[in-house]
Amino acid sequence: MNSLRRLFAQIALVLSAALLAACGTPTVHQNEKFAQQSPYFRHYGQAEGVACVAARRALLSQGYRIDMTMDLNLKAHKDFQPDTDVNVVIDFDVTCIAKPDGSGSTVYVNAEESTYNLKKTSGAASLSVPGGGIAMPWGKTTDHLIKVAGKTIVDEQFYKRFFDLLASQLGK
């Protein structure tokens, strides 16, 4: 009898865990298309090193700060403040790869937009003088940027503008 109860308890536990897992975050991978046409890359007739330098110049010309360059990859970001308590950051990742037939390179780009809200936390402290009853209270407010959203930019026109600027940098 106890083994039967234990079996039912284990089944109930497994079913409960499965139900809780199903209530979690929505799955987005099912909408991933893996299409051959994509706004995230362009082919160029120049070598991959030349294309990456042009990408770096394009980003620098638009006020992006280069965070890292390594071989044929670079990471850059730019900060925006659309509102007093909101900060938005665009992070750019660029990878340059030689085309298999040696006829140039392919530049892959991905940009993520992250939104941060300013959160204020306040605390209080006081200072007491020994031997006396004097207390001097003061308040302390600390500001923190809390990430509230992050998403890959999927706007084809955004990437088109970048690749057009990159192409103009290659022409120089």
Lowest mean pLDDT among 66-80, 117-131, 144-158: 117-131
On whether residue 110 sits in a domain, the answer given is yes
On whether residue 113 sits in a domain, the answer given is yes
On whether residue 17 sits in a domain, the answer given is no
On whether residue 29 sits in a domain, the answer given is no
Maximum Cα–Cα distance across the chain: 85
pLDDT bin (cut points 50, 70, 90) of residue 120 is confident
Handedness of CA 68, 69, 74, 78 (dihedral sign): positive
Q: With 0-12 CB in 10 A as exposed, 13-18 as middle and 19+ as buried, what is 78?
A: middle
User: What is the distance between the alpha carbons of residues 54 and 49, in angstroms, rounded to a whole number?
Assistant: 9
What Cα–Cα distance (Å) separates residue 33 from each residue in 36, 67, 74?
9, 30, 26
* CATH number of the domain encompassing residue 86: 3.30.530
pLDDT bin (cut points 50, 70, 90) of residue 134 is low
User: What is the distance between the alpha carbons of residues 120 and 143, in angstroms, rounded to a whole number?
Assistant: 5
Q: Which residue has the higher pLDDT, 14 or 142?
A: 142
User: In terms of residue numbers, what domain contains 117?
Assistant: 36-130+137-170
Q: Which residues lie below 8 Å from residue 80, measured CB to CB, with a gap of 6+?
A: 87, 88, 89, 90
pTM of the predicted structure, to 2 decimals: 0.72
* pLDDT at res. 160: 97
Domain count along the chain: 1
On whether residue 27 sits in a domain, the answer given is no
On whether residue 21 sits in a domain, the answer given is no
Residue 155's DSSP bridge partners are none
On whether residue 30 sits in a domain, the answer given is no
On whether residue 150 sits in a domain, the answer given is yes
